[in-house]
Amino acid sequence: MLELLSVTAGYDRRAPVLSDVTLTVEPGAAVGLLGPSGCGKSTLARVAALLHEPYAGRVVIDGEPARGWRHRAPRAQRTAFGVVFQQPRLSADPRLSLADLIAEPLRAGRLEHTARVRELADAVGLGGDLLGRRPHEVSDGQLQRACLARALTLRPRWLICDEMTAMLDASTTAALVGVVEEYRRETGAGLLAVGHDRVLLERWCGRTVEWGERGPADDA
């Protein structure tokens, strides 16, 4: 279970973008969080993935309270999450080849390395010489495939997808959602998908939660 309990967070203590927000994702479930841009849902997603420290409230991951944020989060908690953002170009180091990008979360251990990268590249449909290219040499869709593979590298128990497909065409969107769902079938991982496309999230997720005036109206 992923629990966000009475979370208040933002970038200015006096004017938090979200206050006292509670949202839970059951083990293995897929929850879609729907809301207009600027409502604070992306900030909540970053809090959930331990990337942004809230001013108040708690995050509980499979029964264990979060013990830190960003690099201060214990590795075991940090790696419980795979995160994919809207803009692959902002989250990919332009100097890395796609293969290195996918391997980024891995530590040493070369052999296992290559095998895992190949396995992931296959899963997201990145074949041939694409793996040797750098971000500026591939399309947005191809780069987002690599970013999704990178999010799966450490076999996370939770996936956080923040507007993962907002820039992509229909076929690439369906392909990436297919990869996420295949991974969840294999591993039983849970998902929090944040977005503004109702049709997409309702098709993708078992349950969707609407971001209302005061945050997600979660009645689960």
Partner 1 sequence: MTPVLSVERLSVRFRMRDGVSVRAVSDASFDLAAGECLALVGESGCGKSVLASALLGLLPENAETAGSAHLGDTDLLAADERTLARRIRGRRVGLVPQSPAAHLTPVRTVRSQLAETISQLTRAGRRGPQLATAVAAAADRAAFPLDHLDRYPHELSGGLAQRAATALALVGDAPLLLADEPTTGLDRDLVERTVDELRRHIGDDRALLLITHDLAAAERIADRVAVMYASRIVELADADAFFGSPGPRHPYARGLLNALPDREFAPIPGMPPELTTLPDGCAFAARCARADDTCAWVPGLLDGVACHHPETAGAEVTRA
Contact residues for partner 1, defined by CB under 8 A: 36-38, 125, 139-142, 166-175, 177-178, 196-200, 202-204
Nearer Cβ to partner 1 (80/201) = 201
Cβ neighbours of residue 124 closer than 8 Å, sequence gap 6 or more: 145, 146, 148, 149, 176, 179
Q: Tokens 């992306």 map to which residue?
A: 42
Q: How far apart are CA 14 and CA 11, in angstroms?
A: 9
State in angstroms the smallest separation of the CB of 202 from partner 1: 8
Nearer Cβ to partner 1 (43/172) = 172
Q: How far apart are CA 54 and CA 218, in angstroms?
A: 19
State in angstroms the smallest separation of the CB of 103 from partner 1: 21
State in angstroms the smallest separation of the CB of 199 from partner 1: 5
Nearer Cβ to partner 1 (60/166) = 166
Retrieve residue 115's tokens. 């095998």
- Region of 38 (left: φ > 0; alpha: ψ -120 to 50; beta: rest) is left
Nearer Cβ to partner 1 (36/109) = 36
DSSP summary character for residue 158: E
State in angstroms the smallest separation of the CB of 76 from partner 1: 34
Nearer Cβ to partner 1 (80/205) = 205
State in angstroms the smallest separation of the CB of 7 from partner 1: 23
Retrieve residue 101's tokens. 């990008």
